[in-house]
Amino acid sequence: MLRLENIKIREELNNEEVVKIACKKNNIRLDDVLGFYIFKKSIDARNKEDIFYNYAIDLDVKNEKKYTKIKKVEKQNNNLEIAKKRKSLNRPIVIGAGPAGLFCALFLAEYGLNPIIIEQGKTVEERQKDVETFINTGNLNIKSNIQFGEGGAGTFSDGKLTSGIHDPLCKIVLNRFVEFGAPEQIKYINKPHIGTDNLIKVVSNIRKYIISKGGEFLFNEKVIDFEIEDSKLTKIITDKRKLEADTAVLAIGHSARDTFEKLYEKNVYMEKKNFSVGVRIEHKQEMINNSQYGNKSKLNLPPAEYKLAYHDELTGRSCYTFCMCPGGFVMASSSEENTIVTNGMSKFARNEENANSAVLVNVNPEDFKGESPLEGMYFQKELEEKAFELGGKNYFAPIQRLEDFLKNRETKKLGEIKPTYKPGVTYSNLNEILPEFVSNTLKNGVQYFDSKIKGFADKDAILTGVETRSSSPIKIVRDEDFMAKNVHGLYPCGEGPGYAGGIMSSAVDGIKCAIKIIEHE
C-alpha cells in the first residue's frame, strides 16, 4: 500500500474529500485508487494562529510500481493466529469481567475453550442503574458500583484507549471494539476515546458474543476462596458453588481488596507497588479550550485535553495529571462502605460545562506503615475513610476552592466554577486529610501547571477529594508463562495484579493471558 503522510487540512472535510486533496498533493490519479484507510488523524495546535488536522492515509492502488517516490507499507493484518495446544478438559475460569477479563474470555471462547466468567457485580445494564441510584441517593451497592461489575472501572470513565505500551495487539483491541459497536474513528484518531455511553453498549455486545461462542457468565457471584495443592490450583470456590479448576485468570481489578487478602492468606507471592494519590480538579472546559487552541481557528475542534507533569525538588515527588476528562463529571466511585473515592467520566460528546482531571502525587512503599505487601491498600483505604468523615459521613465529597487550598483554609463559598460530583459536596479543607508531602507537592505542581495552561491555577478551580485508585498498590508476581510465581494455573492479569493501567493495556494483557492458556499443553 502507499502511505501518504503529513496531509495538513485546515477546514472541516469528510474522509473522501481529504483523500482527494492527499492524492492531488502527491500526483496520484483518483482512477488508480482502489480503496483507502485513514491511518492517523491528529490535531497540531502548536501554533494557535494556524491549527490544522494532520493526516496519514494508506491507499490501495492500481499500478503501485509507478509511484516510486511514495512510501510503501504492508497491508495491515489484524488477525491473530494462536497455536492451540491446550489438552485439559477443564473449562478455564476468568475472575472479573473488566477489559482484561472480557478480552481474555473473548479469545478463549473463539478458540473453543468455553470459558466461565465469574463477576461479583451485575451486567453492565443493571450496573448502570446501581451507579445512578448511588449518585442520586447515596445508597451504595458494594458489589455493583463504579469499581465492580461488568466492564470494570473503565466503563464509567472517559473510555480512553490511549496507552504507552506500543504493542501490536493495540490495533487488534481497537478493531474489536469497533466490531462490537465503538465509533470507527477510534481506529485512527490520535487520542481515541469511546465515552461511557458507547462503552455500555460495547461491553454488552462483547458479552453476548462470548456467550454465542460457548462462554458462560456467572453474575452476582463472588470468588471467596482458592484450593491449592502442591503449588497447583485445583478449585475455585464462590459464595454459590465449588468449581474444579486447573486454570483461572485473576482479572480482579485494582479494588478487589478482600480477594487480595485471601490470596495473601493463601501465600500467593505478591509485592508492594508504587502508585499515586491526590484529588480531582475542575475547570471550565471553555477556559481549557481557549488555552489550548486560542480563538482563531475555524475548525470544529473537539474539547481540548491536557497532560501535565512536574517534579518537585523540595519534596522529591512527582505531580502529574491523570485520566483527564474533557466536558465531563467527577464521579462518586466508592466500592466500600464509609469511604469516598473519586474518578472522572465523560460521555462520547464531551459536551458538559466542566473539564476535570486527577492531579496526583506518587506514593512509595517507604510511605507505608508495615511490611505486608498489602500495606499500600491499607494506605489507600485510610485516606478514603478520612475523606468520608471530612465530607460529613454521608457520601458527600469534601471539596475546596483552589485559592483556599493554597492558603490552607476551609472553603466557605464557591466562585464561578461549580462542582459536578453527586450525591453532594461539603465545603472543607483538604489539607486536613492529605499527607503533608502530597499537599505540598500538589500546591507547587498546580502553580507550575499554570505556566503551561493559563488559568489552571484559577482561584475558583474546584478540588474534590480523594483520588486513590489510579493504579493497583499490589503486584502479584508472575513467571514467563504468565502464571503466578508459586501457583501453577493461576494467571494474574490486567490492572489489579499490577500488569496494566487503563482499558487498552488491560485488554492487551487479557489477550496475552489468553494466548498463554491456549498455547499451554
Distance CA(480)–CA(39), nearest Å, equals 33
- Answer yes or no: is pLDDT of 515 > 90: yes
Contact 105, 94 (CB under 8 A): yes
In the numeric block, the cell 466554577 is attached to 417
All structural domains of the chain with their residue ranges: 2-66, 93-271+475-519, 275-467
- Answer yes or no: is pLDDT of 78 > 80: no
Within 172-274, strands assigned E span: 216-219, 223-229, 232-238, 242-244, 248-250, 270-272
pLDDT tens figures, 152-204: 998 988 889 988 888 999 999 999 999 999 999 999 999 999 999 999 999 99
Average pLDDT estimate for 494-502 = 95
First to last CA, the chain: 39
* Bond prior to 466 in cis (omega within 30° of 0): yes
Which cell numbers in the block locate residue 71? 512510501
Distance CA(277)–CA(468), nearest Å, equals 5
pLDDT tens figures, 115-149: 999 999 999 999 999 999 999 999 999 999 999 99
Distance CA(412)–CA(417), nearest Å, equals 14
- Output phi, psi for 265, to 5 deg: -60, -35
Which cell numbers in the block locate residue 164? 504507552
pLDDT tens figures, 334-360: 999 999 999 999 999 999 999 999 999
Cα dist from 372 to 3, 20, 276, 322, whole Å: 53, 62, 18, 28
Which cell numbers in the block locate residue 77? 493484518
Which one is the CATH code of 93-271+475-519: 3.40.50.970, 3.40.640.10, 2.60.40.10, 3.50.50.60? 3.50.50.60
* Bond prior to 423 in cis (omega within 30° of 0): yes
Give buried/exposed letters for 27-47 (b at 16+ CB in 10 A, else e): ebeeebbeebbbbbbebebee
Contact 509, 98 (CB under 8 A): no
pLDDT tens figures, 40-76: 999 999 999 999 999 999 999 998 888 988 999 988 7
Give the pLDDT confidence score for residue 63 in this predicted structure: 85
Residues 472, 136, 197, 309, Cα dihedral to 10°: -40
Residues 425, 431, 436, 438, Cα dihedral to 10°: 40
Give residue 436's identity as a one-letter amino acid code.
Answer: E
Which cell numbers in the block locate residue 288? 481549557
Q: What average pLDDT does the structure give for the chain?
A: 96
Please tell us whether the domain made up of 2-66 is placed in CATH 3.40.640.10: no
Give the pLDDT confidence score for residue 118 in this predicted structure: 98
Average pLDDT estimate for 235-240 = 98
